[in-house]
């Protein structure tokens, strides 16, 4: 499958206050965000022309920037409007949207107080995060070599660009060895999350998921906990040891891109794609779609 390079597509990208032609949305090579990881971003899905949980994503972008010590020069409402404008300009009904804020090129070096804060929003057509046929059977994960860092080591609550360095290394290691993704432990050796999604397990009719004290408490994660509750399914958020995986029946990942993706295998452990996983997969899809579209 050949992918059209992202800088060689057409349409519009919202950048620093308005829409610019897609191919003109460029930055200089001496950009602080590129050299020092001083960027924060969001990833959300577009269903029937609307972004699911747009406000929550826009608020999290602001919160992530604050953790990195900068303020985005646009309000949450302006970010939401930028998202709507770019979706309209692209005429996109189904896809993915990526708001990103970063420190510019006014200063180079670790100190960056004089840098201007930039904001861009791009959207594009993006199908299933994992191949659909693989998703329905459950994807295979390996255990990652890298661990999620101690909160004293990295700003783990921010969706910051720099935190994805170890995720890309692990994703590539997985792909190179025939796996779809990697399951990362945290700095204590407890179960944490995948490289771009949270993880849930099913046992005796209940959900078990790691307490998010050193990684992103995903918007999808919180949505799924709510959907499970509506079905009378309890979620236990706690510390989970890797050895406990032997006793879990089902497993799935959650993320804006991954949605609800069943897992069949993590290292030596095996899981079935059971009823609770399938129900939450369907509930999530139905809930993410705008209500007026679902009723059509
Ligand atoms: N963890 C990581 C590392 C992620 O990249 C994502 C995707 N943003 C998630 C968890 C899930 O977050 P959300 O459900 O908010 O997309």
Could you list the residue range(s) of the whole structural domain that residue 111 is in?
Answer: 6-124
- pLDDT at position 173, please? 98
- pLDDT at position 291, please? 85
Vertex 142 angle, CA 138 and 147, to 5°: 125
Task: Look up the CATH number of the domain holding residue 264.
Answer: 3.20.10.10
| 42 pocket-lining for ligand 1 (C-beta < 6 Å) | no
| 255 pocket-lining for ligand 1 (C-beta < 6 Å) | yes
Distance (Å, whole) CA 191 – CA 40: 25
Does 170 lie in the same domain as 139?
yes
- pLDDT at position 64, please? 98
Which residues in the chain land under pLDDT 70? Answer: 1, 293-296
Note the pTM of the prediction, 2 decimals: 0.97
- pLDDT at position 292, please? 75
- pLDDT at position 127, please? 85
Distance (Å, whole) CA 99 – CA 56: 13
Please provide the average confidence, as pLDDT, over all residues in the chain.
96
Does 87 lie in the same domain as 20?
yes
If one counts the domains in the chain, the total is 2
pLDDT digits (tens, 9 = 90+) for 31-52: 999 999 999 999 999 999 999 9
Does 226 lie in the same domain as 164?
yes
User: Which of 71, 101, 124 is the last residue before a domain boundary?
Assistant: 124
What's the CA-to-centroid distance between 256 and ligand 1, angstroms? 7
Nearest CA to ligand 1 atom 12: 218
| 210 pocket-lining for ligand 1 (C-beta < 6 Å) | no
- pLDDT at position 200, please? 99
Known catalytic residues are 159
Nearest to 213 by CA among 235, 191, 246: 191
Distance (Å, whole) CA 290 – CA 163: 32
Residue among 255, 260, 284, 287 to mutate when testing ligand 1 (max atoms within 8 A of CB): 255
- pLDDT at position 1, please? 56
Phi, psi of 4 (to 5 degrees): -70, 125
Look at residue 296 and tell me if it is in a domain. Answer: no
Nearest to 17 by CA among 28, 9, 25: 25
Does 162 lie in the same domain as 108?
no
Residue among 198, 215, 253, 259 to mutate when testing ligand 1 (max atoms within 8 A of CB): 198
Look at residue 1 and tell me if it is in a domain. Answer: no
198, 212 Cβ separation under 8 angstroms: yes
């Amino acid at each position: 499958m050949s992918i059209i390079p992202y800088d060689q597509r057409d349409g519009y990208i919202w950048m620093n206050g308005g829409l610019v032609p897609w191919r003109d949305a460029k930055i200089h090579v001496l950009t602080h965000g590129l050299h020092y990881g001083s960027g924060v971003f969001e990833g959300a899905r577009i269903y029937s022309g609307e972004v699911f949980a747009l406000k929550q994503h826009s608020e999290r972008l602001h919160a992530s920037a604050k953790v990195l010590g900068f303020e985005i020069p646009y309000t949450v409402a302006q970010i939401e409007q930028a998202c709507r404008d770019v979706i309209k300009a692209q005429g996109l009904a189904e896809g993915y949207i990526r708001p990103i804020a970063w420190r510019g090129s006014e200063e180079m070096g670790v100190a960056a107080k004089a840098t201007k804060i930039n904001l861009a929003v791009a959207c594009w057509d993006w199908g299933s995060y994992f191949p659909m046929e693989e998703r329905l059977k459950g994807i295979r994960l390996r255990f990652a070599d890298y661990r999620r860092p101690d909160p004293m080591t990295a700003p783990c609550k921010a969706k910051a660009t720099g935190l994805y360095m170890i995720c890309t290394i692990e994703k590539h290691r997985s792909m190179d060895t025939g796996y779809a993704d990697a399951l990362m432990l945290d700095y204590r050796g407890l179960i944490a999350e995948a490289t771009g999604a949270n993880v849930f397990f099913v046992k005796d009719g209940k959900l078990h998921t790691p307490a998010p004290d050193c990684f992103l408490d995903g918007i999808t994660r919180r949505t799924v906990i709510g959907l499970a509750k509506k079905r009378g399914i309890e979620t236990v958020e706690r510390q989970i040891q890797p050895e406990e995986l032997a006793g879990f029946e089902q497993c799935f990942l959650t993320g804006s891109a991954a949605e609800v993706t069943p897992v069949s295998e993590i290292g030596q452990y095996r899981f079935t794609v059971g009823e609770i996983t399938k129900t939450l997969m369907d509930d999530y899809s139905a809930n993410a779609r705008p209500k007026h579209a679902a009723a059509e």
